[in-house]
Chain A
Amino acid sequence: MYDVDEIRREFPILDRRIGDKRLVYLDNAATSQKPRRVLDALTKYYERHNANIHRGVHRLAEEATAAYEESRAKVARFLGAPGTTGLVFTRGTTESINLVAYAWGRKNLREGDEVLLTEVEHHSNLVPWQLAAQATGARLRFVPIREDGTLDMEEAGRLIGPKTKLVGCIHASNVLATINPVVKLARMAREAGALMLVDGAQSAPHLPVDVEALGCDFFACSGHKMLGPTGVGVLWGRPEILEEMDPFLGGGEMIREVRLDHSTYNDLPYKFEAGTMNIAQAVGLGAAVDYLGELGMENVREHERRLGEYAYGRLSELEGIEIYGPKEERTGLVSFSLPDVHPHDLSQLLDEEGIAIRSGHHCAQPLMRRLGVPATARASFYLYNVEEEVDRLVEALARAREFFRPYAI
């Protein structure tokens, strides 16, 4: 039974007041809030077990290592990974994708090769490939979107070919609320002999994810968007591919034997975890996925789907509003523009009412250009948001509009 009132009680920050108004937090696509059990896991780790991992033989080092590795196993299960070998902790989605673009890209891309991305990508799945392309001479190509914001899969079929070495796609769009057909893309990639990378920053927190079922070769996500602490993220990769890749960062822990002139590298996944990792944060992420597992990702998805639908309907009542993305099959976020009010001014006026939304380009400047807008406003929901908060948003938007309407250009 999905009891949203009970869930809300798990999140201390939801009691926060902004001025005299109760916080309405609708910026979950940027980062989620943290349940008490994640905060407790961090505190407990530092109060009871803090030590560096994989090295010391003392009790604390053993405990810290066990907690860290247990967390890896939890996250692997959560993502449907067949084991922990391919489960690398990183700093977040951005670092995960940079790791692939650097360690796989520079070794395997050549002049004339192609990396196929989409027009919807977050900068984190675009800029690393631009860097890899500059370094190797490979060429970036892009699957366009149709008018409703969904991917033009016919065009994708034409773009994937023998030159394609990797296809990269954001699983759920942080702007359009679309869920992209990554299973289909992965199949097309495989048939062309290319690898498939899925940017799961906006899917792992909100949808059931199974990397095996997706058929991808790499999957990246961020802990802080899925109830975990900042500073920890995940790259899952097929072990046989990770094995062939060069290291990303060099230093402690990622080595087996170091000589002055050369080194050999550690086994997976440690080969990609150089230096002291964000241990406490990884442990916190373990507590987060435990909680998500308890709630059930199917239930989380259903709650957000309903709330997103409700928000779409309520926002549509506002005269002249433009809502981006398709009408159906959406995740729980809504990007929109109101005539007469710039998104910046909108979020400022909403802040005054204790409502946190995002305005700007959402780290997707090429997509903004494609939509023909400099910026949009975005309300993004999570498992603890309720309809009453959507109502407060809509009322505040109506007031903001009244405030600016006399000055409309």
Chain B
Amino acid sequence: MSMMRELYTQVILDHYQRPRNRGKLEDAELEEHLLNPLCGDEVTVCATFDGDKVADVKFSGRGCSISQASASMMTERLVGKSREEARAQIEGFKAMMIGEREFPETDDLAALKGVIRYPSRIKCATLAWTAFQRGLGIR
């Protein structure tokens, strides 16, 4: 189970157990539903904006611990960001997940580093991020 502790880190399990910003937003300006066709997991992300800045983000749907924890971490990161900053953040994260960029050591996101070794699970980790990216109009 030691390898499993590397994958299922405390941070991931904590976000899985107590997801931040789970739910829906009544007056969402951005709402995007995405299905992982490989496994049937699904996520809906929605956001409100204050001018150009993300005011609130929520996610809902069902999925494995990796996808749920990653979605939870994403919501924490995007609040207060401009659309451009959100776009850059998402691209940066996706680059980390394919090994093109280093995970910042001090960031909670580093908890997802172990997922890289399991290619079939990378899509789980990026599901919510891709949904938000699409919501921003980026395909």
A interface with B by C-beta (< 8 Å): 342-345, 348-349, 352, 359-361, 365, 368, 374-375, 399, 403-404, 406-409
CB-based contact B65/A342 at 8 Å: yes
Residues in chain B near residue A348, CB distance under 8 A: 4, 7, 118, 121
- Nearest chain B CB to A179 CB, angstrom units: 25
Kindly state the separation between the CA atoms of A408 and B16 in the bound complex, as whole angstroms.
Answer: 8
Question: In the complex, what's the smallest C-beta–C-beta distance from A357 to chain B, in angstroms?
Answer: 13
CB distance from A130 to the nearest CB of B (A): 16
List chain B positions with a Cβ less than 8 A from chain A: 1, 3-4, 7-8, 13-14, 16-17, 19, 38-42, 62-66, 118, 121, 124
Give the residue among A359, A374, A399, A408 with the most B Cβ atoms within 10 A.
A374
Are A374 and B7 interface neighbours, CB within 8 A? no
Q: Select B63's contact among A352, A368, A374, beta carbons within 8 Å.
A: A374
Q: Which residues of B contact A352 (CB under 8 A)?
A: 1, 3-4
Q: How far is the CA of A407 from the CA of B14 in the complex (A)?
A: 7
| A residues less than 8 Å from B14 (CB atoms) | 407
Min C-beta distance of B59 to chain A, whole Å? 14
**Residues from chain A with Cβ under 8 Å of B8 in the complex:** 345, 403
- Asked if B39 and A360 sit within 8 Å, CB to CB, the answer is yes
Contact indicator A375/B1 (Cβ below 8 Å): no
Given contacts A345-B64, A360-B39, 9 further A-B contacts (CB under 8 A): A342-B65, A343-B39, A344-B121, A348-B4, A352-B3, A359-B39, A368-B40, A399-B1, A407-B16
CB of A375 within 8 A of CB of B39, answer: yes
Query: Given the known A-B contacts A360-B40, A368-B40, are A409 and B4 also in contact in the complex, defined by CB atoms under 8 Å?
Result: no
Q: Which residues of A contact B118 (CB under 8 A)?
A: 348
Q: How long is the Cα–Cα vector from A408 to B18 in the complex, in angstroms?
A: 9
| A residues less than 8 Å from B40 (CB atoms) | 360-361, 365, 368, 374-375
Query: Min CB distance, A398 to chain B, in Å?
Result: 13
Residue of A whose beta carbon sits closest to that of B12: A407
Closest beta carbon of chain B to A124's beta carbon, Å: 15
What CA separation (Å) do A392 and B3 show in the bound complex? 19
**Are B17 and A407 in touch, CB under 8 angstroms?**
yes
Is B64 a contact partner of A344 (Cβ separation < 8 A)?
yes
Q: B118 to chain A: closest CB distance in Å? A: 7
CB<8 Å pairs between A and B, sample of 5:
A344-B41, A360-B38, A399-B1, A406-B13, A407-B16
Complex: how many Å from CA A303 to CA B16? 41
Instruction: Name A349's closest neighbour in chain B (CB-CB).
Output: B4
